[in-house]
With several copies, the nearest count.
Chain A
Amino acid sequence: MKLSIGAVVRGGSSLGYHTGTWRDRRPFLNLEKCKACGICEEVCPDGAVRKTQEAYQVDYLFCKGCGLCAKECPAKAIELVPEGK
């Protein structure tokens, strides 16, 4: 691919870089417990919790497994499990 002039880059192109591989713990969002308060979406530094039509979901393409969503979830609906090695 040709380089751009002056290394200018299209905004939002980081969606092509998947940080999910960095993760060593995987947050599981238990929809049964979830109260849809949206806090997990708020507090994720990576914007890896998305609100879909149905529910809040973790986007594992990007989630780095920091655990903030789990820690801050008032319903304790998110559980972190080690990534299988």
Chain B
Amino acid sequence: MGSPEKGKREELFVSGHRACPGCGMALAVRHILRATGRQVIVVTPTGCLETFTSPYGYSPWRVPWVHHLFENGPSVASGIAAALRMQKRDHIRVLVIAGDGATFDIGFGALSGMLERGEDVLYICVDNGAYMNTGGQRSAATPLYASTTTDPPGKLSSGKVQEKKDLPWIVAAHKVDYVATASVAFLADLRGKLKRAMEVRGPRYIQVDSPCPSGWGFASDLTLEVGRLGVNCGLIPLLEIRGGTLTRVRKITKRIPVEDYLRVQARFRHLFAPRRQQAELSRLQSLADEKIKTYGLLKG
């Protein structure tokens, strides 16, 4: 098996899956497997990715793939990794590709355990910021003030109250060697991070911002554009954290105000209509400013 980038590129995640048209997550997975190559086993907890790739009789996965439950991806992966070691097959690497709900919420206990034990598993969170598979409920990854079906805006509410759980740094605080954030809008960057992650043994974590036309409320051809806006406004910093320290950031090419990002998504519509919610918008802008400053996201 040569580098999958060169020569005839073999598709390991094939057509016929049932993602919504324009699904960012589906695109992410295509590229994740391009970067890892075929010597991998993938575990996916319940969620959109599982649902759109698991209907009985129709699997787009050309690598061994397992879905077990919603909350146990890291543990199933640990069991596989343990078996591979005993079988002397540990040149085969184990990946978890999981939604943000599985990662930030219900499966986080298991993930934390996996990290703590130091399992040789690359955990990839394809983050669409809500429980999309079940209709877009709040997750801990939902951004501040986004509307979800369980945290809707209303007379007493402007959407989600809490800031997005800062999982990359929480994972890093587990003394994990390789942690990164990526975006579907920057596919080469994503593949590069995957390659570097695959060079490390032990637990690793990559969080991929995966815009979701159905859940975020934008047209299906805007997936990459929305992803780019997120990165360029500073709310979605693309980082590499090694041994607990920030080692690399992707600089913002063209800084934009957060409003440009928010305005194109129905989940933030209530911040603009029926009336503009200035306090909320300002807080989101300063959140972006803060990230830009802390991580040095601007060039020069």
Q: Do the two chains touch directly in the complex (Cβ atoms below 8 Å apart)? A: yes
In chain B, what residue has the closest Cβ to A22? Answer: B21
B19 and A45 form a contact (CB under 8 A):
yes
Query: What's the minimum C-beta distance from B186 to chain A, rounded to whole angstroms?
Result: 12
**Chain A residues with CB under 8 A of B19:** 45-46
Given known A-B contacts A14-B53, A16-B58, A66-B21, A46 and B15 have beta carbons under 8 A apart: yes
CA distance A7 to B57 in the complex (A): 8
Mask: chain A, 59-81; 1 = CB below 8 Å from B; 0 = not? 10110111110111000000010
- B18 on interface, CB distance cutoff 8 Å: yes
Query: What's the minimum C-beta distance from A47 to chain B, rounded to whole angstroms?
Result: 5
- B109 on interface, CB distance cutoff 8 Å: no
Q: Which of A17, A23, A68 has the most CB of B within 10 A?
A: A68
B15 and A67 form a contact (CB under 8 A):
no
Q: Give the interface size class of chain B.
A: 35 or more
Query: What's the minimum C-beta distance from B35 to chain A, rounded to whole angstroms?
Result: 13
Q: Which of A16, A43, A66, A72 has the most CB of B within 10 A?
A: A66
- B59 on interface, CB distance cutoff 8 Å: yes
Number of A-B contacts (CB under 8 A): 106
Q: Quick one: which of B30, B61, B64 contacts A45, CB cutoff 8 A?
A: B30
CA distance A47 to B16 in the complex (A): 9
**Chain A residues with CB under 8 A of B220:** 66-68
- A11 on interface, CB distance cutoff 8 Å: yes
A68 and B223 form a contact (CB under 8 A):
yes
Given known A-B contacts A14-B53, A45-B27, A46-B26, A71 and B16 have beta carbons under 8 A apart: no
B57 and A9 form a contact (CB under 8 A):
yes
A11 and B62 form a contact (CB under 8 A):
yes
Q: Quick one: which of A11, A16, A43, A80 contacts B61, CB cutoff 8 A?
A: A11
Q: Quick one: which of B21, B59, B60, B224 contacts A65, CB cutoff 8 A?
A: B21
CA distance A16 to B15 in the complex (A): 9
Mask: chain A, 3-32; 1 = CB below 8 Å from B; 0 = not? 000010111111111110011000000000
CA distance A7 to B15 in the complex (A): 21
A48 and B15 form a contact (CB under 8 A):
yes
**Chain B residues with CB under 8 A of A47:** 11, 13-15, 30
**Chain A residues with CB under 8 A of B58:** 9, 13-14, 16-17
A14 and B14 form a contact (CB under 8 A):
yes
- B74 on interface, CB distance cutoff 8 Å: no
Given known A-B contacts A14-B17, A47-B14, A66 and B57 have beta carbons under 8 A apart: no
**Chain B residues with CB under 8 A of A70:** 221
Chain A residues within CB distance 8 Å of chain B: 7, 9-19, 22-23, 42-48, 59, 61-62, 64-68, 70-72, 80
Which 3 A-B pairs give the minimum distances between C-beta atoms? Answer: A14-B16, A67-B221, A66-B22
